[in-house]
Amino acid sequence: MKSAHGRDALFAFPTKYVIIYLYISFCIRFWRDGLRPSLCNVPRQKGCGLYQSKTRKRRSTKRQTHTQRQLRTEGNALLGGALWQNICYNRTHYTAEFYQIHSRKLTQSCRVVFLTDLHLREYGADNCELVQDVRSLAPDLILLGGDFVTYGEGTNYDNMLSLFRQLSEIAPVCGVLGNHEDELYFLDNDRELVEKFTAAGVTVLRNQEARYTIHDNVISILGVEGSPEDFYNYGASTFMDSVEPQTDYDLRICLAHVPTYFPEHLENYSFELGLAGHTHGGIVRLPKIGPLYTAEEGFFPDYAGGSYTLANNATLIVSRGLGDSSWVPRINNVPELSVIDID
């Protein structure tokens, strides 16, 4: 089982290395300050008291400098080992993050599982561990946020198609494409990508709406394609304008791959829940500070993982995603499987 559940998974930093470092530091300091004979008890040699005093000071200074260097070296080695283990952990584990939102019109609660930014990664053979976890969560609907492929790594994404087929046996699956799917589609001319996703059981929304009836409630899913810069260029604006007058649904969820799409454009429309990914949690998450960097917002971004309230009072959930697309490793940033309970 390679999933890590709970709050502590975000800070999966191996404390044993810190304990070892403190223990070694204590031993060295105890030997230096507690076991050495006092210099004042050492008998003086005739005729060389002043010289011995200066020599002792020089030796003491050299010994202290050497000890400090030794401590720094050992500390850096231990922290480096801990950092490496944290990076490796983040490549093989994920955490299930639970969110709760309220809807005024739903007559019965429903559960949505949101997956995004897997980038060809597998958790267990053929993603068996990920599928098992999703099945155990018993979702009513499975939504996808894009970037299940990785541009530049060829056009073989059969493992993702297999994942889709397995997920579609659990609950209805629909979602949007990410920038990596767009690049494969437009730049590598993989025109069969959407057809392959569809054949594997995914309803791909490209500025489109899908509707599902769950527990006698009508749930409207809007899928907005592209990036915020493309909103007025490729049909997203026209699509959102066309569905805005609709009121014949009980819950509306809006999907977009890039989270800044919501504060820049989408929060001007009516929906109750927005879902996005793309940022990989800011790559590095600093304790007490949060995400370090995203391409859209630069350092210390506002939308790189977590729950936010938009201007239309909708809840926006930005997932940290389940994989990586580059050599830059996640640090203190465990991948995320998002679970949203709506009541």
DSSP assignment of 154-174 equals -S--HHHHHHHHHHHTTS-EE
Dihedral in degrees, nearest 10, Cα atoms 198, 209, 274, 263: 110
- Cα separation of 66 and 62, whole Å? 6
271: which residues sit within 8 A by CB, 6+ positions away? Answer: 222, 252, 253, 254, 312, 314
Residue-level length of the chain: 343
The b/e string for 116-154 (b: 16+ C-beta within 10 A; e otherwise) is bbbbbbbbeeebebbbebbeebebbbbbbbbbbbbbeee
pLDDT in tens, 92-141: 999 999 999 999 899 999 999 999 999 999 999 999 999 999 999 999 99
Dihedral in degrees, nearest 10, Cα atoms 70, 74, 79, 80: 100
Q: Is the pTM of this model over 0.85?
A: no
Stronger pLDDT, 5 or 309, i.e. the higher one = 309
User: What does the pLDDT read at residue 38?
Assistant: 41
Lowest mean pLDDT segment, chosen from 56-60, 210-214, 308-312: 56-60
Which residue type does 23 have? Y
User: What does the pLDDT read at residue 14?
Assistant: 45
pLDDT in tens, 261-313: 999 999 999 999 999 999 999 999 999 899 999 989 999 999 999 999 999 99
- Mean pLDDT across the chain: 86
- Cα separation of 40 and 180, whole Å? 72
User: What does the pLDDT read at residue 83?
Assistant: 84
- Cα separation of 82 and 17, whole Å? 6
User: What does the pLDDT read at residue 12?
Assistant: 41
Structure tokens at 243: 């569905």
- Cα separation of 133 and 42, whole Å? 69
The pLDDT-based confidence of 327 (bands split at 50, 70, 90) is: confident
Q: What is the arithmetic mean of pLDDT over 149-159?
A: 93
| Neighbour count for residue 201 (Cβ, 10 Å) | 18
Using alpha carbons, select from 190, 207, 116, 191 the residue that is nearest to residue 160. Answer: 116
User: What does the pLDDT read at residue 132?
Assistant: 98
Kindly list the distances between the CA atom of residue 27 and the CA atoms of 62, 108, 112, 207, 264, in Å, as whole numbers in the listed order. Answer: 19, 61, 53, 64, 57
User: What does the pLDDT read at residue 10?
Assistant: 39
Q: What is the arithmetic mean of pLDDT over 64-74?
A: 69
| Neighbour count for residue 7 (Cβ, 10 Å) | 8
Task: Name the H helices within 147-230.
Answer: 158-168, 179-186, 193-199
- Cα separation of 38 and 75, whole Å? 28
